[in-house]
Structure 1
Amino acid sequence: MDGRLPTIRPANENLARLCCSIIEEQLGEIERIVVSELLNKGRLSLPQLTRFTNLRQSQVKAALIALMDLDLCTYKEQQEGPRGSAYYYSVNPDKIVYRMRYPFYLVYVADKYGPIGQDIFLQIILYGRRTFNSICDAIQSIHPDQDQVLAVFKAMTDAKEVQPTDPDDVKTNLDKRIEAEKVWKATTDSTMTARVREKMRKALDEEERKAAVDKTWEGLKRKHTTLDEDAWRQTKKTKTVNDLYVDDSLHWKINYDQFHVHLRNAAICDLAKRKIHPAASFVMKYVLDCCEGSMKSCKDDEKSVPIRQWEIRNHMNTASGLCITMYNPNFTSNGQQRSSRRYDSDDSDDGPSSNNKHDPYIKSANPETEFIDLLAKYNEHFQLLKKTDGTGQTEFIVPLKDLSTFMKLEIIRKTIREGFGEVGLRVWNALYMESKLDEKTISTLTMTQAKQVRRVLYMMLEQGFVHLQDVPKRLDHTSQNTFFLYYVSLDLVITNTIEKIYKSIANLKLRRYLESQRFTTTMERAELGEELSDDELKQLDVVKRMTENFKIAELRLDCELMVLKDF
């Protein structure tokens, strides 16, 4: 890699379309042209961008500055012989897609911090990165009490939802990793064998985890108190903690990973409410809130830290209005006795003794403990809590990775049911549970006609939900001496579903734009306050409702995209 820039693969067509639609809607046409070239061609220098976009160099510079201010664009300096160096620019498509989720982030901030936190968040996302003093000046007319604003800002930084910027933010993760590998290789005299490379990988991964902590306010405080540099020593001597928050040399930005952690935890609570009981959502929220401080990102967190059973039980006892009476599974929600109950040999003719009680709830001496055990029970391929071993006390953890996988499976199964019906869903579930099967075995397991199974398999194979492996009986690989096995690769199915969501959201944005263009004149007249006829008012109402429905559909698809890609 010495002397050459690492290659950044161009974005695929659907992702590039979606990113260009977002940039054009939020920033403008010139920024869209620049982003389109960077997504389609990878790294480009300023002269190359000017040539490919057919824009003036000043326009390209202004667009790049706007993108870098919003933390959407990065650059890399490359030495080019004796003439000097050149700068190559690239964009991060993931952060462009995150801009669609600002409504979700904003709702969370408004619920947790109120109007002050909402205005602070709006100021940061409007400019990309801001100092505390610039935020106070912008919202001073709305919130004149600076001490109250500082208290809310401290709470947001302590929760890692706002983090300080770093000079390395202008570099891509790939560039940072390559530079770290060069430094690590320079400090060791060992030959780069497979074992040494594995040691280097683990060491660099640990450094990245520590760097993630240092970018929070807690890590920043440790940096101010322990780093052996004269500048930081002087800062420590002359500035208090409050002065460090309002220091104009510190610019603050949004931490997307922490917001995704909040949204994932909220999705787990909603899953507990749908699958178990409304009280389960309350218990899971308490457990996840206790463990949230140790969570770094959705992709790195496989499980939560342990929490003791008595802590959960005490919280349930002190909660007001929480109904934790154990539900009797022998009765339905309307109190009717289940007819599919399997009788034991020692039951009477009237059925099991527990079914004779026409009470859908079981009275227990320790309902809290039994309710916690219910959450720790493996139910429908997932469980909300897991017991830990070897602590001497009963402790539970939340299997975050397993729950995220289950939520992804829910989205995939819903997509398959909508596209291929119940038969397609049964076939897909059989392949997912049993791995590689032939048509005859699939037909037997799903109790479906072979002709119908073959038709559904071919449809799902064409759209990427099912994959095929040929197993030859001879070396010539002829079709007569080959049998075929169908299987499901969950990672490939998730990738394929993400591509379909990219395409769907891009199509919705295009359709919304075209529908708005049809009635541009009417909308402009309404904005100017001109009098409109009855037909024009009806058209305006139809356009508003249609636009609102398109936006709701985009947000729903973005929720699924967030679960599949970022959880």
Structure 2
Amino acid sequence: MASSSKAKGGSVSDPRGVHSRDKIKLCNDILLDNFGPVVARVGTTILQRGRLTFRDITRFLSMPTSHPASGLDPSQGETPSLSTDPGLGASTTAPSSSSSSSLPANPIKNQQLIRAALLTLIQHHVCWHVSSDADGSLIRPDSPEGVQGVEYFQIDVDEVLARTRFGAYAAIIDVEWGSDASDVVMCVYKNGKLQAKEVIRRLCGQEGDEQYDHSRAERYEEIMRDLLLHYYLQPSSPISHTSANDRRLAYEQEEMTRVRRMLKPKERIEMHARARERVREDEEGVWKYTNAELAEMSGNATERKGVLKRQKRKAVTANGNGKATKKRRKDEGSRKKTSSRSKKSSKLALSDSEDDEAGAHAAGDDSQELYIDPQVFLRVNLDRFDVHIRDQAIFKATEARYNTTTAEVLSSMIDMSARLDASHAPSIRTPESRIINVHSLREHISPHMPLKKVFERNSIKDLFGSDTSQSGLLAEVIALLSCSDNIASRGSRFVGPSSSSELGSGHTVGAGGSRTPSNSVVQFDNIAKVLRGQLLRDVVESQFGTAGARVMTLLQEKGKLEEKHISKLCLITMSETRDICARLFASSLLALQEVPRSADRAAARTVFLWYVDTEKCISWLSDHLYKTMSRHCQRRREEERREQDLVRKVRRTDLESMAQEDQAASGGEVAVSTKGDEATDRTLSLLGVIERRRYLKLRKRLEIITLGEFKTAMNLFILYWASQVDS
């Protein structure tokens, strides 16, 4: 059953499967919009009950319930349909949850339907499934065929909540890689996982057809190869369908069975460390083959899974002198020019040996060209897209705290760290960046970056004197980000000194005399905590006023205080202090610490100290955002339900064909694409004036709701990022 939000602690997603009611309701709304009522009903049942077997899932779904989590009854036969209009989002013709929440949900007794729903969730990596024996040991995919166990299913809540950020993912891939790469990512994401050859077939058609374009298919192959090398796509493996927590517990169980005695505390800590290391090796094994696996494979395999290499020989003339003909050189030059971006991007993600091979290929010698394996199954690596969202959030936070130039310097440091760590998949779980040298950063940033704008114009000469070089100003900017002049605020600094002695130690003196470490790192954990604290203060201020936010900020900085000290430091009266503290205490944002002065613990001789319980605050904030996001989804479905007749008329395919015929008859150019607002605008021309006004008003309201959903999703991402860094 769903537990209270206090049981979750500070984590946005509890690995034990304990989730609050608001989180389960939001997950149900997301599954309902993306997969329909039956899949949402199955997924919500697993979320409410925890990990279940197929037999238990069937038993729980066969029992009628008077309080369904979904506002849609599968027996009514109405299924949600995904909208083709970006302004409308995912739509459904079902009634709202408020109108049908009191109606009993009919049981689902069709096991084939339940099995299809589970396969859909597994296909889209929303549901984990694992088989374990009677001892609790994990049955791996490479286990002998005779070994059997019980299969359990569990919902990956982080994967469900990440679907609210898919609009941001689509915008990122379109800006970074272009529309063709966006088509590839959209195709893979909508289908969960696909083979590389299946992606090409869906985008270019079947090979041998009249509409099949070989050049376009080759371009998509290069794009998929580059996306795989840059970790935007990842190979799908059986280990990715298993929870990391289940694997860790199974590895610890294996260690316990080997020892067969009680472990000492130190040995138990070492056992946990070995289990976590094996889990980390499993995550790295998704991307690369081991040496043993490479030895068993053919000679065209590389270390990266899904990437193969083929031999390319230079052309030989009839005379045998080894020189390419003029036409051959011209064709190779045009081909290199068209694929220069893909080759340049693929070199960034290769190892040193692969870089040498790519360089030999560019020189025209015998080399090995990389291409994607058509048999590999691909899925979207959401963690790579989350890194982009994290970088954007850091840029906006730095710009709001300092200025735009300082944010550009910090973004350059993050970009330089990503280039230094290009051989590993980027992740938002990283607590800090790679070591960045100040002198190397000076060569990385643009020489025309206006670093003087970081500081006040009139005080530059007074503070720095005549030394206003770029190197000195850059050192001062890093000193500003590292809070070198304030020891008390180092817990909230964005940049800190490196604790590793890999590149040596030393300091760089800035233009103003500030001593900055030569080797620095971007502290992502501090930035995440600062953004989470700022988000908490903003929400508290919106609900409890400025005085409530002032009390929360004071207690977060000072710790435990009495009412009289809170009143004095916050400049509010005692009556207002008691009222605000009582309201915050009722919302589980504040807690009381009793300090008795005597043994009888009388209230008159007891000091009561107010303090902030961080875990309860984060839990309260998470539930508040979950409820807000869920209400956005309900409001969008209700708006579409009110105008469902008009929406169905606009989406009719026969109206679309009629609009194209009218446009062609009038001499206008017929657009080939039918995505987004283009198809809608053509069908709107066939509607009446009143219907057109109604639909435009509906689309305007849905755009406002979508904007609210996007802002709430970004706030939820900050909490998710902070929880991943803390773990």
Using structure 1 for the length normalisation, give the TM-score: 0.85
Unmatched 5+ residue regions in structure 2?
A: 1-14, 62-106, 136-146, 206-212, 310-369, 507-517, 656-682, 723-727
Letter in 1 for 2:434: V
Aligned to 1:289: 415
Q: Is the 8 A contact 2:403 2:454 kept in 1?
A: no
Q: Is the 8 A contact 1:327 1:362 kept in 2?
A: no
Letter in 1 for 2:58: T
Aligned to 1:4: none
Q: Is the 8 A contact 1:327 1:361 kept in 2?
A: no
Aligned to 2:575: 451
Worse overlay, 493-502 or 266-275 = 266-275
Letter in 1 for 2:451: I
Deviations 1:90-121 (A, max 9, x none): 21121111111111111111111112221121
Aligned to 2:25: 17
Worse overlay, 505-514 or 469-478 = 469-478
Residue 323 (1) aligns with residue 394 (2): no
Measured in 1, the distance between the counterparts of 2:301 and 2:713 equals 44
Letter in 2 for 1:325: K
| Alignment of structure 1 residues 360-379 onto 2, 5 Å | 364-377=467-480, 378=482
Aligned to 1:460: 584
Deviation of the 1:297 alpha carbon: 6.3
- Work out which of the residue numbers 171, 183, 207 in structure 2 matches 1:107: 171
Measured in 2, the distance between the counterparts of 1:454 and 1:361 equals 49
Deviation of the 1:197 alpha carbon: 0.9
Aligned to 2:699: 544
SS in 1 for 2:532: helix
Q: Is the 8 A contact 1:324 1:368 kept in 2?
A: no
- Work out which of the residue numbers 153, 157, 163 in structure 2 matches 1:89: 153
- Cα distance, 1:251–1:494 mapped onto 2, change above 3 Å: same
Deviations 1:136-157 (A, max 9, x none): 2222268843443233223222
Letter in 1 for 2:177: Y
Aligned to 2:443: 314
Q: Is the 8 A contact 1:330 1:360 kept in 2?
A: no
Deviations 1:210-234 (A, max 9, x none): 3332222xx23xx2xx12x5xx434
SS in 1 for 2:222: helix
- Work out which of the residue numbers 43, 54, 67 in structure 2 matches 1:35: 43
Deviation of the 1:299 alpha carbon: 5.8
Aligned to 2:275: 204
SS in 2 for 1:139: helix
Measured in 1, the distance between the counterparts of 2:719 and 2:433 equals 20
- Cα distance, 1:143–1:68 mapped onto 2, change above 3 Å: farther
Measured in 2, the distance between the counterparts of 1:518 and 1:18 equals 22
Residue 98 (1) aligns with residue 162 (2): yes
- Work out which of the residue numbers 611, 617, 631 in structure 2 matches 1:507: 631
SS in 2 for 1:236: coil
Measured in 1, the distance between the counterparts of 2:494 and 2:606 equals 44
SS in 1 for 2:231: coil
Aligned to 1:335: none
Letter in 1 for 2:263: M
Q: Is the 8 A contact 2:562 2:610 kept in 1?
A: yes
Measured in 2, the distance between the counterparts of 1:285 and 1:143 equals 39
- Cα distance, 1:233–1:513 mapped onto 2, change above 3 Å: same
Using structure 2 for the length normalisation, give the TM-score: 0.67
SS in 2 for 1:484: strand
Using the aligned pairs only, state the percent identity.
Answer: 19
Measured in 2, the distance between the counterparts of 1:118 and 1:392 equals 44
Dislocated runs of 4+, deviation >6 Å: 359-363
Deviation of the 1:276 alpha carbon: 2.1
SS in 2 for 1:304: coil
Residue 482 (1) aligns with residue 606 (2): yes
Worse overlay, 360-369 or 261-270 = 360-369
Measured in 1, the distance between the counterparts of 2:586 and 2:215 equals 61
Aligned to 2:190: 126
Aligned to 1:334: none
Measured in 2, the distance between the counterparts of 1:117 and 1:555 equals 23
- Cα distance, 1:509–1:143 mapped onto 2, change above 3 Å: farther
Q: Is the 8 A contact 1:258 1:297 kept in 2?
A: yes
Aligned to 1:350: none
Q: Is the 8 A contact 2:452 2:473 kept in 1?
A: no
Residue 303 (1) aligns with residue 406 (2): no
Letter in 2 for 1:408: R
- Cα distance, 1:254–1:291 mapped onto 2, change above 3 Å: same
- Cα distance, 1:492–1:368 mapped onto 2, change above 3 Å: farther
Query: Which structure would you say has the larger RCO, counting Cα contacts within 8 Å and 6 or more residues apart?
Result: 2
| Alignment of structure 1 residues 169-318 onto 2, 5 Å | 169-188=240-259, 191-216=262-287, 219-220=288-289, 223=290, 226-227=291-292, 232-237=294-299, 239=301, 241-242=307-308, 246-292=372-418, 294=421, 300-316=429-445, 318=446
Unmatched 5+ residue regions in structure 1?
A: 1-6, 332-353
Measured in 2, the distance between the counterparts of 1:362 and 1:473 equals 59
Aligned to 2:81: none
Deviations 1:292-351 (A, max 9, x none): 2647665642211111111111233x445x2222554486xxxxxxxxxxxxxxxxxxxx
Greater share of helix: 1
Deviations 1:530-562 (A, max 9, x none): 965544433322221111111110110010000
SS in 2 for 1:160: coil
